[in-house]
Chains A and B, each alone.
With several copies, the nearest count.
Chain A
């Protein structure tokens, strides 16, 4: 696969703009959760916060901070777009679909999943590089962990 296929323009753009970057809100307390994750290979880090809606069913806000490669930065940026305002159950199923994509080893996506993943489908090429899969998943790991904490915090 060519580098242009791996590093799609959408990825390079998100890596530069980083939606949701810059922590805001509370790290803990009712409906709030924060998680810190490290990729031990390279030392890349992400710290991510979520705030749930009052009824606990939606993600009211996501913000994050981190250093990392373009894959990890872009992936967390796309995450921020996808997750903000979404229902918690939807977020979980989306995260699972993204996880599947990352472990597909470059197999073609079925059109429904591709449609479902939207911008996140741009990361399909990453699945061909096992060492980079962790990069793409770093933000998502932090999100899952933060959501658990946020719902426990209630």
Chain B
């Protein structure tokens, strides 16, 4: 857990937190689940790359190109290490969404015969099933719907409890026909952390591959993807103090080796003729064209920053904030939390509905007080439908969030129903 002094040192590292909004109100940033703010060291790392080492990587033999290639591969090693995997198992993408789509399209391409016999296990067809959950972000739902539409496979899903937790009673949806199970590690709406071990066991028992959406876990918890024993995982740099424009796909080495490429072009080939192309080994096979090199360098600075704080300390700090958020919201009459009401196995991400007031209006009043929360369906329409609402407001914390931030939010939330005359009805 961070001491007050540590936290204020952390906050000083994030230039944006010092700004004011709406006629000079201090910013209370509680939208970290959407995107995190960036510490100065991340900005400096990118800037330094451009000022001293910028060149095309894996393509040149001159001094700059050597240095750029080294920076790029060192970033890969650092980020891979941060999530407990080998550098050769980490593919750079522009965001987590691309990472998940990459896996889905590898299945499509294998189904179309690409990748030959080695890619056999990625072929899908009628009778095969892809399993997701009702808690998924659209990024881990729509690509699988589209994959099923392209291949004739069937989409099924695990259900949720009324608290928004994965309902393990529905685990028997995973069966002999299941080929892929895609689930989120932690929900960006309810904050609930999924029982990954149980799902992995069920999936592996029937030979299905597990794709983990680790977008919300990697920034907030210590995550070891090898220990979790998932087959693929996706996460985004911008949510973990890193730059926009960079994300990553983890894939078990032998799976990456067997997968046909998805995006094709420069730097991922071996021999190209007009009629035929052979492909480089992973991870290069999946990194077509000039990559987001400066951003990988920035992301390395971000994981080093988090690593120095220690992910256990980060998680403990945020657990305390989760408790304070839940306690604070519970004090405000007419507010219902969407998700677990206790802080166990839960992120400091609290979505809620205010009786009689639409989330957009809630968000507007909070914004007027300088409090930035997200309103809408948070890219999880089915989850909202399951919990009986069309949309919600969401306050989400990060390593730089203070108790004062939470208190300012709760104070402003207390004024919402009065303003809209909802308390009276």
Contact = CB atoms under 8 A, between A and B. Distances in A.
Q: Do chains A and B touch in the complex (CB under 8 A)?
A: yes
Interface of A: 2-3, 6-7, 12, 16, 38, 40-45, 67-71, 129-132, 135
Contact of B360 (A16, A40, A42): A42
Contact of A68 (B59, B280, B358): B358
B377 interface: yes
Nearest to A130: B66
B365 interface: yes
A67 to B, nearest CB: 5
Contacts of A16: 421
A69 B360 contact: yes
B69 A38 contact: no
20 contacts: A2-B368, A7-B361, A12-B421, A16-B421, A38-B271, A41-B59, A41-B376, A42-B359, A42-B360, A42-B376, A43-B381, A43-B384, A43-B390, A44-B391, A67-B390, A68-B358, A69-B360, A131-B61, A131-B65, A132-B360
A42 B364 contact: no
Nearest to A6: B364
A149 to B, nearest CB: 18
B269 interface: yes
Contacts, number: 70
A42 B377 contact: yes
B208 interface: no
B70 interface: yes
Sort A-B residue pairs by CB-CB distance and give the 3 closest, nearest first.
A69-B360, A69-B358, A42-B376
B270 interface: yes
Contacts of B377: 42-43
B364 A40 contact: no
Contacts of B271: 38, 43
Contacts of B384: 43
A95 B384 CA distance: 33
A132 B280 contact: no
Contact of A41 (B58, B361, B364, B421): B58
Interface string B69-103: 11000000000000000000000000000000000
Nearest to A126: B364
A28 to B, nearest CB: 20
Given A70-B361, A129-B364, A40 B69 contact: no
B360 A135 contact: yes
Contact of B390 (A44, A129, A130, A132): A44
Given A70-B420, A130-B70, A38 B270 contact: yes
B375 interface: yes
A40 B60 contact: no
A3 B360 contact: no
Contacts of B421: 12, 16
Given A38-B271, A41-B59, A43-B384, A129 B66 contact: yes
B50 interface: no
A43 B376 contact: yes
Given A3-B368, A41-B58, A43-B381, A69 B69 contact: no
Contacts of A44: 358, 360, 390-391
Best-buried of B368, B375, B391 by chain A (most CB within 10 Å): B391
Interface in B30-75: 58-61, 65-66, 69-70
A1 to B, nearest CB: 8
Contacts of B60: 131
Contacts of B69: 130-131
A38 B381 CA distance: 12
Contacts of B376: 41-43
A132 B61 contact: yes
Contacts of A38: 270-271
A131 B66 contact: yes
Nearest to A67: B390
A69 B65 contact: no
Nearest to B272: A43
A3 B381 contact: no
Contacts of B361: 7, 69-71
B358 A132 contact: no
Contacts of A40: 267, 269-270, 280, 284
A67 B358 CA distance: 9
Interface string B250-286: 0000000000000000010111000000001000100
Nearest to A36: B271
Nearest to B425: A16
A132 B283 CA distance: 20
Nearest to B415: A3
